[in-house]
Structure 1
Amino acid sequence: MACARVPLDEQQVIERDALGKERSLAALHPDRKEERLFVPYVPLPADPCPADAEEFLERGRFILEDLEWLLALPHDKFWCQVVFDRSLQNCLDSYVQHAPRGLDLASAPTFPAVAQTQHSLHHAVFLTFLRMSTHKESKENFITPAAFGEILYENFLFDVPKMMDLCVLFGKGNARLLHKMIENIFIQQPSYYRDLDDTVPTILEVLDTIVEKCGLRCDGATAAQPMKLNGHKQLTAVSMTQRDFVDIVLYLCDASSTLHAFLSVFPAACATFHSHGFLCRLTSFYESVVPDLEDALTKRNFEDTSLQEDMWQRLSHSRRRMLETAHLLLHHACLQPILEGAENKQAFAEELLQHFTSFLSEKRFLCDYDELFPIADDVSLLQQALPAIDETRTSYLLHGVHSVWDSVGRRKPPCTVSSSQPANRGAPGETLLAIDRDVRESDGGRVCPAGAEASNWMPDAPRKGTNGDICPVSEAELESLVSCIRDLLPDLGEGFLLACLREYGYNSEVVINNILEGRLAPELDVLDRAMPRSSHVNSSTVEPHKPVKEALPGVLNSRSNVYDDDEFDVFRRDRVDMTRVSKGRRKGESMMELLNDKQHISEQRVRYQAYQTVVDEVQLQAGDAAGAAASYSTGDDYDDEYDDTYDVNQVGANDLDGDSLLTRRPFTVPRVLQRANNAEEAENDEEQEDLALQSNMNKDQFIQDPALLRARAGARRAAMQQRKGIQPERPSHVVGRSKGQGQTLDTFLDRRKKEANKGRGANHNRRNMADRKRSKGMIPS
Structure 2
Amino acid sequence: MAMSIVAFENEKNLPLNELLLNVNENGIKRNIPALHEKWSESRCFSKYTPFPIKGGLVEEGAQLDQWASETEWFVKDMEWLLGLEHFRFWSTLVHNAGAIESVISFTQSAIPYYLSGVVRSSPNVFPLYSAALRRVLQVICRMITQHESDQCWIGKEYMGELLYKHYLISIPLLFDLLPVYGRENKHVLTLMLQTVFKLQPKYRQDLRVALQYLQSTFKTIQLQIETDRIDGNVATVGTLNDLAVYTLDCCSTLSLLVELYPEVRPLCSELGFEPSITNFYDNTIVLLYRNIFAKDNESPYLGYLNSARMELLLAFRSIVNLQLETILDNPNDSLLPADKFLCILTECLSDPTFVKDYQRHYPVERDLDILKQACPGLDFFKLDFVQNAYCGGEESALTNGHCEETIIPEENEGFGEATGGAVEEQSPGPSTVSAQPLSEEQKIEEQVQKVLDVLPHLGGGYVRKILSRYDGVEQAIAAVLEGNLPPDLAEADPTEPFIPADKLDSFFLETGIQRLNVYDGDEFDVMVHDTVKGVIKKGKGMPGGAKNLQQMLDDKSHVKEMKNRYQEYTNVCDDYDDEYDDSYDAMADSESKKIRLTAEMRNALVDELDDDEEEPEDEAPVGAPEKKPLDFCENPEVVRQRYEERRRSKFPPRQSGKPSEKDVVGKPKGQGQDTSVLQNRKHKGENKASRANHNRKQGATFKRNKGMIPS
Q: 1:243: Cα distance to partner?
A: 2.3
Query: Using a 3 Å threshold, how does the CA distance of structure 1 residues 232 and 320 change in structure 2: closer, same or farther?
Result: closer
What secondary structure is seen at the aligned counterpart in 1 of 2:66? helix
Give distance in 1, aligned partners of 2:429 and 2:116. Answer: 54
8 Å Cα contact 1:363-1:404 kept in structure 2: no
Aligned to 1:11: 19
Give distance in 2, aligned partners of 1:178 and 1:11. Answer: 31
Aligned to 1:330: 320
| Equivalent position to 1:372, from 332, 348, 361 | 361
Aligned to 1:294: 289
Q: 1:485: Cα distance to partner?
A: 6.1
| 2:186 is the alignment partner of 1:184 | no
| Equivalent position to 2:31, from 24, 27, 39 | 24
8 Å Cα contact 1:312-1:432 kept in structure 2: no
Q: 1:143: Cα distance to partner?
A: 0.8
What secondary structure is seen at the aligned counterpart in 2 of 1:215? helix
8 Å Cα contact 1:168-1:262 kept in structure 2: no
Taking the TM superposition and a 5 Å limit, the aligned residue runs for 1:528-547 are none
Give distance in 1, aligned partners of 2:33 and 2:130. Answer: 37
Q: 1:96: Cα distance to partner?
A: 0.5
Q: Which amino acid aligns with 2:45?
A: F
Q: Which amino acid aligns with 2:194?
A: E
Aligned to 1:774: none
Q: Which amino acid aligns with 1:257?
A: S
Q: 1:403: Cα distance to partner?
A: 4.8
51-60 vs 128-137, greater mean Cα deviation = 51-60
Q: 1:11: Cα distance to partner?
A: 0.4
8 Å Cα contact 2:78-2:139 kept in structure 1: yes
Query: Using a 3 Å threshold, how does the CA distance of structure 1 residues 151 and 378 change in structure 2: closer, same or farther?
Result: same
Taking the TM superposition and a 5 Å limit, the aligned residue runs for 1:434-473 are none
Query: Using a 3 Å threshold, how does the CA distance of structure 1 residues 395 and 232 change in structure 2: closer, same or farther?
Result: closer
8 Å Cα contact 2:16-2:152 kept in structure 1: yes
Give distance in 2, aligned partners of 1:112 and 1:388. Answer: 63
Aligned to 2:231: 234
For residues 394-416 of structure 1, what are the alpha-carbon distances to aligned partners after superposition, in whole Å with 9 as ceiling and x for unaligned?
22211111357325879xxxxxx
| Equivalent position to 2:213, from 179, 194, 202 | 202
Give distance in 1, aligned partners of 2:419 and 2:267. Answer: 42
Query: Using a 3 Å threshold, how does the CA distance of structure 1 residues 283 and 269 change in structure 2: closer, same or farther?
Result: same
Aligned to 1:751: none
* Unmatched tracts of structure 1, length 5 or more: 217-230, 411-424, 434-480, 490-506, 510-553, 560-568, 574-582, 585-620, 622-781
Taking the TM superposition and a 5 Å limit, the aligned residue runs for 1:49-60 are 49-60=60-71
Q: Which amino acid aligns with 1:426?
A: I
| Equivalent position to 1:36, from 28, 35, 43 | 43
Give distance in 2, aligned partners of 1:486 and 1:368. Answer: 17
- TM (norm. structure 2) is 0.54
Q: 1:80: Cα distance to partner?
A: 1.5
Give distance in 2, aligned partners of 1:268 and 1:95. Answer: 27
Query: Using a 3 Å threshold, how does the CA distance of structure 1 residues 364 and 59 change in structure 2: closer, same or farther?
Result: same
Q: 1:23: Cα distance to partner?
A: 2.9
Q: 1:345: Cα distance to partner?
A: 1.8
Give distance in 1, aligned partners of 2:90 and 2:332. Answer: 44
Give distance in 2, aligned partners of 1:110 and 1:59. Answer: 21
8 Å Cα contact 1:215-1:235 kept in structure 2: no
Give distance in 1, aligned partners of 2:434 and 2:278. Answer: 43
* Unmatched tracts of structure 2, length 5 or more: 1-7, 400-406, 437-448, 451-566, 568-711
Aligned to 1:319: 309
Give distance in 1, aligned partners of 2:162 and 2:261. Answer: 22
Aligned to 1:386: 375
Give distance in 1, aligned partners of 2:166 and 2:78. Answer: 19
Aligned to 1:671: none
Q: 1:381: Cα distance to partner?
A: 2.4
8 Å Cα contact 2:15-2:155 kept in structure 1: yes
Give distance in 1, aligned partners of 2:31 and 2:113. Answer: 49
| 2:398 is the alignment partner of 1:401 | no
Query: Using a 3 Å threshold, how does the CA distance of structure 1 residues 206 and 380 change in structure 2: closer, same or farther?
Result: same
Give distance in 2, aligned partners of 1:23 and 1:114. Answer: 50
What secondary structure is seen at the aligned counterpart in 2 of 1:24? strand
8 Å Cα contact 1:46-1:108 kept in structure 2: no
Q: 1:378: Cα distance to partner?
A: 1.6
Aligned to 2:258: 263
8 Å Cα contact 2:10-2:19 kept in structure 1: yes
For residues 629-665 of structure 1, what are the alpha-carbon distances to aligned partners after superposition, in whole Å with 9 as ceiling and x for unaligned?
xxxxxxxxxxxxxxxxxxxxxxxxxxxxxxxxxxxxx
Give distance in 1, aligned partners of 2:192 and 2:199. Answer: 11
| 2:150 is the alignment partner of 1:148 | no
Q: 1:249: Cα distance to partner?
A: 1.3
8 Å Cα contact 2:45-2:99 kept in structure 1: yes
Q: Which amino acid aligns with 1:75?
A: H
Query: Using a 3 Å threshold, how does the CA distance of structure 1 residues 273 and 111 change in structure 2: closer, same or farther?
Result: same
| 2:344 is the alignment partner of 1:349 | no
Taking the TM superposition and a 5 Å limit, the aligned residue runs for 1:237-248 are 239-248=234-243
Q: 1:270: Cα distance to partner?
A: 1.5
Give distance in 2, aligned partners of 1:320 and 1:192. Answer: 28
Q: Which amino acid aligns with 1:103?
A: Y
Aligned to 2:174: 163
| 2:420 is the alignment partner of 1:488 | yes
Larger radius of gyration: 2
Give distance in 2, aligned partners of 1:174 and 1:264. Answer: 13
What secondary structure is seen at the aligned counterpart in 2 of 1:396? helix
What secondary structure is seen at the aligned counterpart in 1 of 2:152? coil
| Equivalent position to 1:309, from 288, 296, 299 | 299
What secondary structure is seen at the aligned counterpart in 2 of 1:16? strand
| Equivalent position to 1:280, from 266, 270, 275 | 275
RMSD: 3.2
Q: Which amino acid aligns with 1:263?
A: V
Give distance in 2, aligned partners of 1:235 and 1:404. Answer: 39
Give distance in 1, aligned partners of 2:429 and 2:198. Answer: 67
Give distance in 1, aligned partners of 2:418 and 2:326. Answer: 48
What secondary structure is seen at the aligned counterpart in 2 of 1:8? coil
Q: Which amino acid aligns with 2:388?
A: H
Q: 1:241: Cα distance to partner?
A: 2.2
For residues 338-365 of structure 1, what are the alpha-carbon distances to aligned partners after superposition, in whole Å with 9 as ceiling and x for unaligned?
1221764211111011101111221111
Give distance in 2, aligned partners of 1:350 and 1:156. Answer: 41
What secondary structure is seen at the aligned counterpart in 2 of 1:316? helix
Give distance in 1, aligned partners of 2:434 and 2:188. Answer: 68
Q: Which amino acid aligns with 2:231?
A: Q
Aligned to 2:402: none
For residues 33-62 of structure 1, what are the alpha-carbon distances to aligned partners after superposition, in whole Å with 9 as ceiling and x for unaligned?
122222000010113223222222222221
Q: 1:382: Cα distance to partner?
A: 2.5
**Higher RCO, Cα 8 Å, sep 6+:** 1
8 Å Cα contact 1:179-1:265 kept in structure 2: yes
Give distance in 2, aligned partners of 1:486 and 1:10. Answer: 68
| Equivalent position to 1:426, from 408, 412, 417 | 408
Taking the TM superposition and a 5 Å limit, the aligned residue runs for 1:93-112 are 93-107=104-118, 110-112=121-123
Query: Using a 3 Å threshold, how does the CA distance of structure 1 residues 343 and 153 change in structure 2: closer, same or farther?
Result: farther
Q: Which amino acid aligns with 2:175?
A: M
What secondary structure is seen at the aligned counterpart in 2 of 1:36? coil
Give distance in 2, aligned partners of 1:181 and 1:197. Answer: 18
Tell me the number of residue pairs that the alignment of Structure 1 and Structure 2 aligns. Answer: 418
Q: Which amino acid aligns with 1:21?
A: I
| Equivalent position to 2:72, from 52, 61, 79 | 61
Aligned to 2:246: 251
Give distance in 2, aligned partners of 1:2 and 1:98. Answer: 41
Give distance in 2, aligned partners of 1:232 and 1:78. Answer: 53
Q: 1:190: Cα distance to partner?
A: 0.5
Q: Which amino acid aligns with 1:380?
A: D
Give distance in 1, aligned partners of 2:393 and 2:347. Answer: 12
